[in-house]
Amino acid sequence: MQLQDRNELENNHLIDVNNLPTFSMTETTSTKLNKPILRKGDTGDAVEELQKLLRYWDYYYDPIDGIFSEYVEWAVKAYQHRVFLEEDGIVGSLTWKALYSGAPPVPPIPVLSRGSTGKYVRMVQRTLSLHGYYSFDIDGVFGPVTEVAVRKFQLDMALVQDGVVGPKTWHALSKLYH
């Protein structure tokens, strides 16, 4: 079936990008979130869907068989690490949302700025350190040095250079090895 037929567009062998159907990731993600919680040992269509999503993001290479095996659990944990989620191997609503969007879900990841402290600041510092943006102690304190590193990273990623780690900066960080 042709693109024009599927989307009720004039079939003139040309595609007018201005007439293509559009959707937002928020709409797509919210409609996809009515998913079961999955864990090692589960089987079925939802596990097949999970395996396909993990393969899409390049985390799963075994057959799509609908079995939540130890390898699927490992792939889930690796993906959760990429998007800054708790690496528990359980696929709940936040993991489903991240699998559909390719980005860290918001919430639970907080917006970070100067004065923030804790494990999420350490995650940012560690990721920036691995990529040459930050060369100081990974202490979990978002001070002026961390802010400068975030601004440099934002510049390289063509983001607004405000020194704040919000959703767009989290998404860009999630694309890096960490």
Using alpha carbons, select from 72, 115, 67 the residue that is nearest to residue 90. 72
Cα 115 to Cα 100: distance, rounded to the nearest angstrom: 32
Which two tokens mark 10?
Answer: 């004039």
Q: Tally helices (H) and strands (E) across the chain.
A: 8, 0
Q: How many domains does the chain have?
A: 2
Percent of the chain as helix, strand, coil, to the nearest 5: 45, 5, 50
User: Three-class SS of residue 151?
Assistant: helix
Q: What is the pTM of this model?
A: 0.61
Strand partners, 141: 117
Last residue of a domain, one of 48, 67, 101: 101
Cα 141 to Cα 106: distance, rounded to the nearest angstrom: 21
Residue 42 lies in a domain: yes
For the cut 60, the answer to whether the pLDDT of residue 161 exceeds it is yes
Asked whether residue 161 falls in the same domain as residue 128, the answer is yes
For the cut 90, the answer to whether the pLDDT of residue 117 exceeds it is yes
Confidence band for 107, pLDDT divided at 50, 70 and 90: low
CA-based R_g, the chain, Å? 19
At 6-63, the pLDDT tens digits run 334 444 444 343 433 333 334 344 444 689 999 999 999 999 999 999 999 999 999 9
Residue 85 lies in a domain: yes
CATH value at residue 83: 1.10.101.10
Residue 18 lies in a domain: no
> Chain-wide mean pLDDT for the chain?
83
Confidence band for 5, pLDDT divided at 50, 70 and 90: very low
Last residue of a domain, one of 70, 101, 132: 101
